Structure 1
Amino acid sequence: MLTRKMQSISPRESGGSTGLKGLDYQNHWAICLLLKLHATEDDYAILIEHWDDVVSLDGTCPPKKINFYQVKDHKKLSLTDILRYDPKKSGDSSIIGKMHSLYKDFGESVEGCYLVTSRPITDSNSKEIISNSEYKCLKDLQECSNITTKIEKETGESCGRFVYVLRFMNSELSRKGYCEQLKGIIYDFFKKKYKCDIDVDAFYRTILPDITKKGALIFKEFQNVDMLITQKGFKRVDIENFIKETISSARHTDIDKVVEKLLTESDYEFGLRYAIKEKIKKYRSEKMQYSNDVIFELELDIITGIKKTISVSKTIRTIVSEVASGLDPQRGYKKIYSEEFITGAIYYETAKIYGEL
């Protein structure tokens, strides 16, 4: 069973040769994969920087199939490069050799081992082995026989099913400008699947730090698959929550009118109006990074405080100040969130009550 293998096989050692730019590229590509998987109706989960750069599963209850993605951001990469290793160095493996090792460890559960590259891999004649973003199996390459011989020499084993499992894929993101390219992909995803425009930057700024954080975490022991995914990846429901919050925010774009309702004549000034708008927008964006339970506790306390404090004779600044000072300092969110974040939450909830945000 796949879950037993997942619990018994240690993750790869961190701190390899991948530089910061390479990791950033990997994380951006992982978002591409998430959106591609989410565009279907199938269940899925992904892991960041565990057994491979990115790992996908066909669900969580329990998973039966696993895919590995080795993501390379290179100016130029040839078949010779990905098969290169030093037989004199103990434990040295080529890129393909490492992928074969994962295939061997996880056996029949492996659906695909993908080598994803920012530029097409070239063959011995400097010809690109694949010309679009679809993948090609090793079996489909003209040099399959030659590559298979080299893999078997390195591993000491027959390739067998690996010629179908090993797959070469061109990335949707190029080496230059991949941040903006990803934002374009995010925009297209929401337009096609949800038929709506959204704040692309808000979604991008929320999900990318979460992916980076999960990738940096070293997590070797876990009791079940759900625990592993919570710490090192995302389930379908996690991305659905990101998306719901993004769409919800996009449907409340007229913040100007809401803020006007918040301000009385005595404290109506351009600077304050702009400041409140920015606090509400920032809070909306940042709150997607946190646990729903903790956010719920914070928002419930704020709403209770607003209802106790609310008065037509009070200015918005007075209301926010009184609600903030009335929050219990022993609550969990006081230890997690900054005062700026909590202030943004108070403005946000006040806007919902006063201005029907």
Structure 2
Amino acid sequence: MADNPLAEAQRESAGASTFGKYNFQFHWALCEIIRKHEQQKEYAILIEHHEDVVITDALEADKARFEFYQVKNQAATFTADSLTKRNKGTKEALKGSVLGKLLSSCLNNQYEDRITTIGLVSSSGFSLGIDKGLKLDVIKIGDITEDDLATLTQNIHKELGIDVLPEHLQFIVPEIQLRNQEDYVLSKFARLADKLFPGALCNAVAIYRSVIDEMGRIGRLEFDYTDWARLIDKKSLTSTSVHQVVTQHSSHPCVDDIKSDFDDLANDLSWKSKRKRSFKRELSLLALRRAGFMSALDIDITNSFRSSHDKIDEDGFPDDIAYVDALVDQAIRGGLLDKVKDQDTLLMEVIYCLLKAE
């Protein structure tokens, strides 16, 4: 098992138990993962784990790089002073500032060098001096005027002892707004399905509800996980799981051909109706999923089965039953059973590859 690179004690865990207050937070996060999904990027998103939102660009522990975001929903616009203001807590001890809390989650730990973006997202925006008077929705350290940058740096130095603010720190003004967040995300999902499967029919409401419910579930989990695989399984929403939801609630003509070809093959294989119906349903979902977004695992599996198929000469067999049996035997000899969950899935991959090659 791979160690979890994020397995450090979290700054706070109260956010997970009060997750219902942060509706805007995960609607913004949904927009981020939809954007990545449109670009066919692999990702996993964590809610209330070290920060409000953490996004990783890979599902393997050794390859993962992270984006850390704190998402704020408030009426007041952030200034350099309010970003670094420290209120008094119990016994007159100073609390961490908004910016200080974000940076303390990202710096001086084992995953610091693997963070590519540190982002503070504010629904009310920022009142920071910008060089050349530009109006930016993503404000980077190099965009801020000397006076405001000096204020931020000096105050953070007093709080955390940091001399220079990280270059990958960003202040982000989101497109999504409080008053339209549900409808905004719904339209984003509809456009995502159309981009993945041009001409497809999709149930955007069902997609939205499924994904938002799962995000709520992972946001309420307060446990830490030392094993990376368990963290991804228990606490994250991945590109694979999102794509499965989109596929489940979409239909497309591209699937009709493979369904028709399978009907002919199943008849030749003398399959009974019950087995044929169940297999065709799963095969259709597989075909639609791969038509829209091939994950690294999908690419590896399809390439492996295609290579296995090439070792068997179809002309050397009297009928389709013998040919498919030979393909299955070759796949097992080639170790491909280790790449799928069971022998039924292996048969699915054999037939999928066979039908796609025709």
Q: TM-score, normalised by structure 1?
A: 0.61
Structure 1 contact 45–56 (Cα < 8 Å) conserved = yes
> Which residue identity is paired with 1:63?
K
Counterpart residue number, 2:223: 219
Counterpart residue number, 1:341: none
Task: State how far apart, in whole Å, the 1-side matches of 2:18 and 2:5 are.
Answer: 30
Compared with structure 1, are the counterparts of its residues 197 and 249 closer, same or farther at alpha carbon in structure 2 (3 Å cutoff)? closer
Q: CA deviation at 1:91?
A: 6.2
Counterpart residue number, 1:76: 76
Counterpart residue number, 2:197: 194
Deviations 1:131-175 (A, max 9, x none): 454x2212321122321122112112222xx43121111112112
Counterpart residue number, 1:109: 114
Within-5 A mapping of 1:267-306 = none
> Which residue identity is paired with 2:105?
L
Compared with structure 1, are the counterparts of its residues 109 and 20 closer, same or farther at alpha carbon in structure 2 (3 Å cutoff)? closer
Task: State how far apart, in whole Å, the 1-side matches of 2:248 and 2:225 are.
Answer: 32
Deviations 1:87-139 (A, max 9, x none): 785462111101111221232111111111212111379x9x97454x22123
Task: State how far apart, in whole Å, the 2-side matches of 1:76 and 1:251 are.
Answer: 50
> Which residue identity is paired with 2:38?
A
1:52 maps onto 2:51 in alignment: yes
Q: CA deviation at 1:19?
A: 6.5
Deviations 1:229-278 (A, max 9, x none): 211112221112112112149999xxxxxxxxxxxxxxxxxxxxxxxxxx
- SS of structure 1 residue aligned to 2:202: coil
Task: State how far apart, in whole Å, the 2-side matches of 1:63 and 1:92 are.
Answer: 35
Task: State how far apart, in whole Å, the 2-side matches of 1:194 and 1:132 are.
Answer: 33
Task: State how far apart, in whole Å, the 1-side matches of 2:221 and 2:28 are.
Answer: 18
Structure 2 contact 44–237 (Cα < 8 Å) conserved = yes
- SS of structure 2 residue aligned to 1:167: strand
Q: CA deviation at 1:18?
A: 9.9
- SS of structure 2 residue aligned to 1:176: helix
Identity value in percent: 22
> Which residue identity is paired with 1:211?
M
Compared with structure 1, are the counterparts of its residues 210 and 17 closer, same or farther at alpha carbon in structure 2 (3 Å cutoff)? closer
Compared with structure 1, are the counterparts of its residues 122 and 81 closer, same or farther at alpha carbon in structure 2 (3 Å cutoff)? same
Structure 1 contact 74–175 (Cα < 8 Å) conserved = no
Task: State how far apart, in whole Å, the 2-side matches of 1:188 and 1:4 are.
Answer: 34
Question: Tell me, which stretches of 5 or more residues in structure 1 are unaligned?
Answer: 253-357
> Which residue identity is paired with 2:115?
V
Counterpart residue number, 1:205: 209
Deviations 1:189-227 (A, max 9, x none): 2223332341111111111111001101111133x2121
2:245 paired residue among 239, 242, 247 = 242
Structure 1 contact 97–155 (Cα < 8 Å) conserved = yes
Compared with structure 1, are the counterparts of its residues 205 and 41 closer, same or farther at alpha carbon in structure 2 (3 Å cutoff)? closer
- SS of structure 2 residue aligned to 1:92: coil
Counterpart residue number, 1:185: 188
Aligned length: 245
Deviations 1:297-317 (A, max 9, x none): xxxxxxxxxxxxxxxxxxxxx
- SS of structure 2 residue aligned to 1:49: strand
Structure 2 contact 43–56 (Cα < 8 Å) conserved = yes
Q: CA deviation at 1:12?
A: 3.6
